[in-house]
Amino acid sequence: MVNTHLVKSEKLLFFRRWLKAPKQLGTLAPISKRLARSAAKLVHDAACVKVVEIGAGTGRLTRTLIECGIKPENLTAVELDGTFCNFLKTSLPQANIIHGDACELPALLGEKLVGKVDIVFSVIPLMYLEPAVREQIVNQALAVLKPSGKLYHVCYTPVSPFKKNETIESNRLVSLWMNIPPGFVWEFRRVNSLI
């Protein structure tokens, strides 16, 4: 069960961490419940899928995924900020929380998960990253997916961070223009990927 007392303090914690690392967090508050629910709705067969979230923050999307039926033992949340990781471990003790950099995702997940993940959700603010780092994170996320796996990126940018001639192809699946700020979910795949 989600610890509601801890959850109430997430906005304050998020804001404090944003003051310390604004570009790493990207926004001064967790994503809205509406955007989290729209992203979670992209998951089919929730009870059987293995999901990884990169950039889990205080766990707004993580909790929504569990509410939508994903089993906590099938959900791994990766987060760079150690304070957020402690918060996640206390508020979501049943999920797998990994403190680390998504640039090294396969090494963080290990062979039990690499190549076996159905969906990766990225909530990392890619638009603030150098193009090479951005591409590394997306390539590492694609590398842990099973052949039919999907990479969904939740963000506030209506335009793709990848240009047409780059190696990553983008497709906007969700547009919430009435969200504050407007929220979007993109699917990323390698150019020429047949799936």
Ligand X SMILES: C[S@@+](CC[C@H](N)C(=O)[O-])C[C@H]1O[C@@H](n2cnc3c(N)ncnc32)[C@H](O)[C@@H]1O
- When asked if residue 149 is in the footprint of ligand X (CB under 6 A), the reply is no
Q: What is the DSSP letter of 157?
A: -
Task: Tell me which residues in 53-82 interact with ligand X (CB under 6 A).
Answer: 54-57, 60-61, 78-81
Q: Give the nearest distance from C-beta 195 to ligand X in angstroms.
A: 25
- When asked if residue 123 is in the footprint of ligand X (CB under 6 A), the reply is yes
- Alpha carbon distances (Å) from 149 to 26, 95, 98, 130, 161: 26, 20, 21, 26, 21
Name the one range near ligand X by CB under 6 A: 42-50, 121-129, 142-150, 184-192: 121-129
CB of 125 or CB of 161, closer to ligand X: 125
Question: Cα 146 vs. chain centroid, distance in angstroms?
Answer: 17
- When asked if residue 88 is in the footprint of ligand X (CB under 6 A), the reply is no
Amino acid at position 144, single letter: V
- The angle, 0 to 180 degrees and rounded to 10, between the axes of the packed helices 60-67 and 33-40 is 50
CA 162, 26, 86, 56 dihedral sign is: negative
Query: Locate tokens 């090479």: which residue?
Result: 132
Binding pattern to ligand X, positions 4-43, x when CB under 6 A? --------------------xxxx--xx----x-------
CB of 158 or CB of 191, closer to ligand X: 158
